[in-house]
Amino acid sequence: MADAVRPPAWVVACALCITGQVAAQTSDPVAAPTRDLDTLRVTATVLPTVPADASHSITVLGPQQLDAWRGRSVAELLAAQAGLVVDRSARGGGYGALYLRGADASHVVVLVDGVRQNDPLSSRGSAVDLNTLSLERIERIEIVRGSASVAHAEAIAGLIHLHTRRAATGATVGVAIGGDGLRAVQAGLSGTDWSLSASDREDGDGRRGFQGVRAFDAAWERELAAALSLRAAFGYSDSEGRGFPDDSGGPRYAVLRDLDERHATVRQFSLQARYRPAVGTIEVQWARFAREGGEDAPGVAGGMRDPFGLPALAAHTDYLRDELQASWRGPIGDAGEFGAGLLHQRERGRYNGRIDYGFFQSPVGFAMQRSTDAAFAELRWRHGAWTAQGGLRHERHRDADADGDSAVQPMLSLQRRVGTSDAHWGAAVSRSARPPSFYALGHPLVGNPGLRTERAAHRELYYATAEDVTWPSRITLFSARYRDLVDFDGGPPPQLVNRARIESDGVEWRSTHRFDTDWRLGLDGTWMRVRDPVGDIVLRHRPRLQVGTDLALPLGQQSELSLRLHYLARRFDSSIPTGDRWLASATTLDLSLRQRWGPATLLVMLDDVTDTRGEEVIGLDTPGRRLRLSLHWELQ
């Protein structure tokens, strides 16, 4: 397979620009301030909200939280959050799939600057490979658990929104190195109404696995008039990965030792206009997402679970999505807010590949198109201590070779303040749906054009204290029911069918405390029970318990020591050579020391201090202890 395109010219050019900017800054060592990323508005709902007031569980990781993770991957960062499980890290070189609230990885929508990254040509049902995303380009991450908004219908388990860096006028540059071949470079340059950012990251020893990601982002934003603003953004990323194939047994058990090779090139462009008339705000956005990918898989030899194994596969995919969305939101009297919008989306995808059975090769190819039209609305109303919010979305899909399918998706929440404090409790119910992926519908060997829409229903009940108490806390009870999920039937003939059901029930909690010494302690966790009520099948990568503890210890005005303790309970997995097995629980401790000198920040990080040697998946050990060093400059 040809190497993925790796254009380093723009990285060098951006670094040269920053070098010139650094040379000019000799008198003012103060770091450039960071522009707020619209902190009031998170992706949980159509209407603006803050995480503390949202009816669903939301975690926002800002620049301060992300600083200690410089050099690590998006997959590793998200795997450290309570309730999120990622099966493969970047160092393992495999597909980093995210599991949230018991659902499959394809049921989580991932956005970068508002543009969806999910690819329906993936054999994993439009799941996003988190290892192909660069953390160096990210300034804020929003994690929305559950189906919280009628604006993002396909997020039937949750949503991850990554916002790229948008520094104020000035320049940034950073480097990171570490064990297992870690090397990362990031550079950024911005003016009054424009910004450029580039990053290059490699991780892995090349024997067990390797992941390389390069990314470039550019944005321009301007107030054209007193009430009209325009923003244009472009993003490019190029990734390549090598690792032992899924179900192969990894470095420990795999019979065939050739690595699976994957590459992908992603381009996205968005243009957003925001107009503020006398009442409310009108937004119109057009976005294009294009992904070209390839995979060269060596196959998996037969073993305990499957005597025939998996044949070798080579495939190339080409996917394009255009999306146009218009919305209006504004007040209704003194107590209400209303928002409504329309969406039109067109998707086109092509898959070309061949399967090598050893004694003959079988070509596999298909092409699909889909258009989606949707109308959605949300209403929030406050009366005294009560707040009610409801939403409704009507969506219709039309495939080129199939009859159209429609879905109505409601959402309702009720909240109440307790006494005169800001403590509050709330309850929410919602329904959501997502159409089958192109791969599931169109693949000539296992695809099924008669597949129905996958559906989910969520219920939540929470209590949250006021933010100014000694221990601000939030506890959430949730119940999710997924039905008509796409599953594989061995046949004959082998085919994807609607038969899987999942029931997920659990509790999520988080609490923080600031001591008189200015130490900061954070506690979070998730207990969850996931089951298949029909086939009583044990599902992979669904641990019952996750617990995390963060402790930040200031060491003077310019230094801080941070510790992160994370417990992950045992989880079920399977591979062809070994059959089914439970992976042991794991407790990891990460440590970081941050030292600041004017515009420069040095990070010394030790991952997995105790050198825990568990397994990510069967036969692939967790990365273990690693030292990382990061140096970052911010200049006006």
pLDDT of 3 higher than 70: no
- Answer for the pair 564, 583: CB distance below 8 angstroms, yes or no: no
Name the residue among 516, 520, 479, 483 with its Cα closest to residue 498: 483
Asked if residue 2 is part of any domain, the answer here is no
Helix (H) or strand (E) holding 84: strand 84-86
Confidence category of residue 401, pLDDT binned at 50, 70, 90: low
What pLDDT score does 43 carry? 63
Tally of residues, the chain:
636
Q: Would the CA dihedral through 202, 166, 142, 7 be positive or negative?
A: negative
- Answer for the pair 4, 263: CB distance below 8 angstroms, yes or no: yes
Q: How many CB atoms lie within 10 A of CB 137?
A: 26
**pLDDT mean over 27-31:** 34
**Burial zone of 102 (CB within 10 Å; 0-12 exposed, 13-18 middle, 19+ buried):** buried
Q: Which two tokens stand for residue 126?
A: 């439009």
**pLDDT mean over 397-419:** 84
Q: How far apart are CA 421 and CA 546, in angstroms?
A: 31
Mean pLDDT, all residues of the chain = 87
Q: How far apart are CA 174 and CA 187, in angstroms?
A: 6
Name the residue among 484, 399, 506 with its Cα closest to residue 442: 399
Q: How far apart are CA 478 and CA 513, in angstroms?
A: 25
Asked if residue 359 is part of any domain, the answer here is yes
Asked if residue 4 is part of any domain, the answer here is no
Percent of all residues in the chain with a pLDDT value above 90, rounded to a whole number: 62
Give the lowest-confidence range in 36-40, 119-123, 503-507. 36-40
pLDDT of 9 higher than 70: no
Residue 302, helix vs strand vs coil: coil
Enclosing domain of residue 339: 9-635
**pLDDT mean over 369-377:** 94
pLDDT of 39 higher than 70: no
Asked if residue 66 is part of any domain, the answer here is yes
Q: Tens digit of pLDDT for each residue in 532-582?
A: 888 778 889 999 999 999 999 999 889 999 999 999 999 999 999 999 999
pLDDT of 24 higher than 60: no
Residue 540, helix vs strand vs coil: coil
Residue 125, helix vs strand vs coil: coil
The DSSP call for residue 502 is E
Which residue type occupies 421?
S
Asked if residue 494 is part of any domain, the answer here is yes
pLDDT of 4 higher than 60: no
Q: How many domains does the chain have?
A: 1
pLDDT of 15 higher than 60: no
What pLDDT score does 26 carry? 33
pLDDT of 37 higher than 70: no
Confidence category of residue 374, pLDDT binned at 50, 70, 90: very high
Percent of all residues in the chain with a pLDDT value above 70, rounded to a whole number: 91
What secondary structure does DSSP assign to 319-382, as a single string?
EEEEEEEEEEEEEETTTEEEEEEEEEEEEEEEEEEEEE-SS-EEEEEEEEEEEEEEEEEEEEEE
The DSSP call for residue 452 is P
Asked if residue 1 is part of any domain, the answer here is no
Q: Which two tokens stand for residue 340?
A: 């409504």
Q: Tens digit of pLDDT for each residue in 214-258?
A: 999 999 999 988 899 999 999 999 999 999 999 999 999 999 999
Asked if residue 374 is part of any domain, the answer here is yes
pLDDT of 323 higher than 60: yes
Confidence category of residue 14, pLDDT binned at 50, 70, 90: very low
- Answer for the pair 119, 293: CB distance below 8 angstroms, yes or no: yes
Which residue type occupies 463?
Y
**pLDDT mean over 253-267:** 95
What pLDDT score does 403 carry? 64
CATH of the domain at 535: 2.40.170.20
Confidence category of residue 41, pLDDT binned at 50, 70, 90: low
Q: Tens digit of pLDDT for each residue in 297-316?
A: 999 999 999 898 999 999 99
What pLDDT score does 168 carry? 65
Asked if residue 109 is part of any domain, the answer here is yes
**pLDDT mean over 454-464:** 94
The DSSP call for residue 136 is G
